[in-house]
């Protein structure tokens, strides 16, 4: 069953714009850099995101958002807990983030 993984970032105030842009590009690169352990093929079905441009003013400090789609819960779990590309990326941005929010959902499950 499809799982969506939504990640929101708030970069620290003193992070240069080129550094947060580079971090955002590394998020987007996960679509091809994350390989399934059995097939060695990309398993992130969809990945998109970017800088906030909402008109509603409900961002609560979050400045960037990304959504990833996985075919199933096992792929999502592998991504979050074991994928070397994802773990390396997460470690690379830890020091430049003020806040991170993550929410996952399965369509139609309320």
Convert the pLDDT of each residue in 29-59 to its tens digit. Answer: 999 999 999 999 999 999 999 999 999 999 9
Residue among 98, 104, 40, 107 nearest 67 (CA):
104
Q: pLDDT-based confidence at 9, cuts 50/70/90? A: very high
Mean pLDDT of the 6-34 span: 96
- Asked if residue 44 belongs to a domain, the reply is yes
Write out pLDDT tens, residues 76-109: 999 999 999 999 999 999 999 999 999 999 999 9
- Looking at residue 5, its pLDDT comes to 98
Q: Could you tell me the CATH number of the domain that includes residue 57?
A: 3.30.70.100
Question: Is the full-model pTM beyond 0.85?
Answer: yes
CB 104 within 8 A of CB 76: yes
Positive or negative torsion for Cα 46, 49, 54, 58? positive
- Asked if residue 106 belongs to a domain, the reply is no
Specify the number of domains making up the chain: 1
In which domain, by residue range, is 26 found?
Answer: 11-99
């Amino acid at each position: 069953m499809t799982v969506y993984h939504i990640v929101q970032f708030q970069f620290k105030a003193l992070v240069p714009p080129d550094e947060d842009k580079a971090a955002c590009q590394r998020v987007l690169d996960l679509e091809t850099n994350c390989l399934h352990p059995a097939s060695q093929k990309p398993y992130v079905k969809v990945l998109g995101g970017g800088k906030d441009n909402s008109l509603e003013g409900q961002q609560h400090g979050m400045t960037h958002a990304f959504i990833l789609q996985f075919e199933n819960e096992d792929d999502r779990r592998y991504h979050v807990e074991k994928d070397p590309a994802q773990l390396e990326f997460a470690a690379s941005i830890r020091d430049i983030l003020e806040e991170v929010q993550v929410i996952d959902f399965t369509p139609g499950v309320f």
